[in-house]
Structure 1
Amino acid sequence: MIHSIIIEDQPPAQRVLKKYIGDMGNMELKATFVDALQAMDFLKSEPVDLIFLDIHLPKISGIDFLKALTNKPHIILTTAFSEYALESYEYDVVDYLLKPFSFERFVQAVSKLPILKQEGVSSLNKIENSFTPEVIFIKSGYEHIKIEVSDIRFIQSDADYTEIFTSKKKHLSQEPLRHWEEHLDSKKFVRIHKSYILNISKIQKIVGNQVRLDENTNLPIGRAYKKVFMKIVIK
């Protein structure tokens, strides 16, 4: 069993990490802290194997916390800012997770722990392959917005971004369309066009080379995607 703690001041990010840790099966979360000073006091009497550490924290930063540690556990950094990646590896961290990150990416980071490399990661792969996310978090400014996966109707490519359309509104994501194609359940979300991924449960009807979701929403089916799409939908 891998004993871990979370040092993270944002509740949405805390919830994601707690969920992912719980889904692993071979990890136990000992405590969660909103600042590194609290964690320092805890570590004096409660050693752990792994720390999930945010960089932007109140009181002292995650980097300063790393510098101050003497008997350092394994560290996986979690942050929304990619510019700290190079500096962080100077402190021998296990991995660097850029928010928002998927469960698959989380498993990939955890599998780099020396103890798991020795034991092999077959159990991790089983967890990863059987996991279907119920929610996703997308970055919007300084916030991470939770979206119910089942509420997504379709995702549309918009240059370097994607727009995620739900039943109530649309959300702009910084991730490309390929990211969602790789991280959403391929049995439920299907690429139907170079610019569209569709939740097949939202289909009202298929007319020629178009999918109708409602009387105001018709999406094109690309020629290169139609054969695979029809095999999935019409069984």
Structure 2
Amino acid sequence: MNRTCIIIEDQPPAQRILQKFISDVGTLSLKGTFSNAIEAITFLQENSVDLIFLDIHLPKISGMDFLKTLKNSPQVILTTAFSEYAIESYEYNVIDYLLKPFSFQRFVQAISKSTSLSPNKKDIKIHKETSANKILFVKSGHDLIKVNSIDILFIKSDDDYTEVVTVDKTHLSSDSLKKWIEKLGDTFCQVHKSYILNTTYLQKVSGNQIFLNDEIIVPIGRAYKEHFVKKYLK
């Protein structure tokens, strides 16, 4: 079944590009296109969707203010020409940040995050009783956000930032993967040049993929596989 989505974007050319990309990708069903957030809020009061493509600079209510109004929000992919909101946006249910103009390939990467890398919490078993739990602080812009290490599923490097994906939400951190490895305990393992995994949640290994559940899949890099197998699978 296709996942449902809406577009909130005030520029017709940008609307048309998103509409075409959504049609071309074939896994999304577009339920509406709105030129401002107020129209979208009215729609969402009576309808639910899986994903929102959201511009930041909108008339009447900005995209960031719209995010703050959402409760039990769908996943959100921001589409904007401005990069300065990246850190702040990850305090909400934002799974990717597309800088205009973006390619169809980059669009598909964002869609992939929404389907395969977003935590399906009902299938995740949380082991709060473990003694390996550590209190950490995610450096996010000017803020330090408290996180329990046992809640972290994986950490992904994304250009100048790292995405700290927990059972509850995703935080965007300015710390590098190297710094995260230094902070974390033995239950965490770097399994790819771009991924650190919390092995507490490991359910299955198939080929070069690690499954935390049926939807959350982390790749294993060739250079990291031997160490991972020896330490955690034997």
TM-score, length of structure 2 as denominator length: 0.49
Q: Which has the higher contact order (CA 8 A, sep 6+)?
A: 2
Q: TM-score, normalised by structure 1?
A: 0.49
The structure with the larger Rg is: 1
The structure richer in helix per residue is 1
